[in-house]
Amino acid sequence: MPIYRIEGVTPVIDPSAYVHPTAVLIGDVIVGPGCYVGPNASLRGDFGRLVLEEGANVQDNCVMHGFPGTDTVVEVDGHIGHGAILHGCRVGRNALVGMNAVVMDGAHIGPESIVAANAFVKAGFDCPPRAMLVGSPAQVRRTLSAEEVRWKAEGTAEYHRLTRRCLESMELCEAQTEVEPNRPRCDGGTAKPKYQS
């Protein structure tokens, strides 16, 4: 994976974390225990510090960056969906930022909250715990139910498992030219999309 030191500051990756080989980490990046960083994620710690606390995941094509002297933090078990952008913000413990959402400087996403896909969270926004944020600009739509928080935690647990699966078995290979008989499936776990019962 491309790892770059800048001005003598080198990214740190806990040995129990998985960072995909196509992800790019630059400078002041700290990836904590059990974290997952997906393909093509860009964590640019060339201005502010970027921190992934234990069990956080940052999925494919996400961007993390910040202004000089700021910290961009994903707290314990934070879950950052595909293509999301975090800039100088803080995502609370066990919160979820949906696919292609943007969270701007000085914004704080409260613990156990969900930022809907494609939402735009303005700079300085302060989100309470267990909130559902929707729209552009994002607004608190309602309080999440215990069932919704449980569903989110199940999804994050699957990313914890994915971290271990990747560390144990991910390897570069050549594609096959034909589908083999009785082709196995990857072990996708038990989490279900919210629209299913």
Asked if the model's pLDDT at residue 25 lies above 70, the reply is: yes
Alpha-carbon gap, residue 38 to 18, rounded angstroms: 8
For the chain, how far is it from start to end, CA to CA, in angstroms? 39
What pTM value is reported for the model? 0.92
d(CA 152, CA 91): 14
Q: Which residue has the tokens 């994620």?
A: 41
Residue 189, pLDDT score:
66
pLDDT tens readout for residues 99-137: 999 999 999 999 999 999 999 999 999 999 999 999 999
Coil, strand or helix at 116: coil
Parse the chain into domains and list their residue ranges: 3-143
Provide the CATH number for the domain formed by 3-143 in this structure. 2.160.10.10
Residue 196 has pLDDT above 70, yes or no: no
